[in-house]
Chain A
Amino acid sequence: MTKKMILAVAMAAPLMIALPAAADGDHRAKAIAVIKKDFQPRGQAGLDRLAEDGVQAICNRTGNKPPDYIEKAMTADQLATVKYPADGKLLGDWKEGEKIAQSGRGFTWTDNPGLPVGGNCYNCHKIAPKETSFGTIGPSLYQFGKLRGNTAETQKYAYSKIWNAKAFNLCSEMPRFGHAGALNEKQVKDLVALLLDPESPVNK
């Protein structure tokens, strides 16, 4: 884990110099300098959040379209960060998952850092049909389990995707909820259940 992070950082720094596109690179360098100069810490949001990690650095420098070989190598790298429950069980409680999916709280400078962080899921996805206030930044997840089957393979995919979306699409717009420390193993399991449990309203 620590080794991972060191590597990511070590990678990002030389890449800033290494990557091409000199024309807008100049403006990007200025942008980064301006960001460093013109932000101030507030609440739980410290200035450390402005630093790019390896994935962010690559995506920022390739317009979110990294070359295939980088995409391949780095998604595999991200997948290796996923922490699975010790008992191997990936299906939690869909009712709890629904609550997590509803909440968009957490991590902003106005949020109380002591309170649990939400999954933000409905901000971007259609999930259970009863919730009509859903976003469309991500694909619809309605009938996710019905369409894909509640297999060990899909459970592992759903769990891994929620834990670290960048393990499948390096510059995905979806946050890395487990990797970022927003959701813990139990919470991710509950979300997997929301998507895959045959009893979940998602699959009714």
Chain B
Amino acid sequence: MNTTRRTVLKGATASGVLAGLIAAGALRPTQVLASEWNKAAFEAKDTAGALKGIGAAAPADSKDLVLKVPDIAENGAVVPVDVVSNIPKTTSIAILVEKNPSPLCAQFEFSNGALPEASARIKMGQTSMVKAVAKADGKFYTAQKEVKVTVGGCGG
């Protein structure tokens, strides 16, 4: 457990201080396990706010960011999303759904040999653009595609 915690800590220079804080119980496990949840970005009610929240206010369109989603979702509750970044030095990928009440779905940071790609399954309340945002060498890039959400069977 201790070793896991140590590798988890961000900014290892301060690890001594942090270790003290952990021991004192001042930090909750949430904060220790991973980087702190980006509340502002995840609770943003529109895409602009979510992008701002992850520091990507004006990402540039890129063909090297490949977003694979179905044109029509079989079920809005489970929409498969695959993102692959061919942009050199990509360090993170985020997935957003423009018309969801909270557009930001997830963001992944890669290190230690992880390839800049991710797949996840997301919920969509209605037909919307799905956006991928990649961070590479400090800059943000984006790709987007529309996914149609239709009704299911039986009408009742």
Using a CB–CB cutoff of 8 Å, the interface residues on chain A facing chain B are 102-106, 108, 111, 118, 120, 122-123, 132-133
Contacts and interface: CB of A to CB of B under 8 A. Distances in A.
B154 A133 contact: no
B156 interface: yes
B156 to A, nearest CB: 3
Interface in B104-156: 150-151, 154-156
Nearest to A108: B156
A108 B150 CA distance: 24
9 contacts: A103-B155, A104-B155, A106-B156, A111-B156, A120-B155, A120-B156, A122-B155, A133-B150, A133-B151
B156 A104 contact: yes
The 4 lowest CB-CB distance pairs between A and B, nearest first, are A104-B155, A104-B156, A105-B156, A104-B154
A118 B154 CA distance: 11
Interface centre among B150, B151, B154, B156 (most CB of A within 10 A): B156
Contacts of A118: 155-156
A125 B135 CA distance: 49
Given A104-B154, A106-B156, A123-B155, 18 more contacts: A102-B155, A103-B155, A103-B156, A104-B155, A104-B156, A105-B155, A105-B156, A108-B156, A111-B156, A118-B155, A118-B156, A120-B155, A120-B156, A122-B155, A123-B154, A132-B150, A133-B150, A133-B151
Contacts of B150: 132-133
A154 B57 CA distance: 62
Contacts of B151: 133
Nearest to B152: A133
A105 B156 CA distance: 5
A174 B154 CA distance: 15
A131 to B, nearest CB: 9
Nearest to B154: A104
A106 to B, nearest CB: 7
A123 B154 CA distance: 6
A122 B151 CA distance: 12
A92 to B, nearest CB: 20
A12 to B, nearest CB: 30
A132 B151 CA distance: 10
A118 B150 CA distance: 20
B134 to A, nearest CB: 35
B35 to A, nearest CB: 43
A106 B154 CA distance: 12
A27 B27 CA distance: 70
Contacts of B154: 104, 123
B72 to A, nearest CB: 11
A102 B155 CA distance: 7
A99 B65 CA distance: 43
Contacts of A102: 155
A114 to B, nearest CB: 15
Interface in B30-73: none
B86 to A, nearest CB: 36
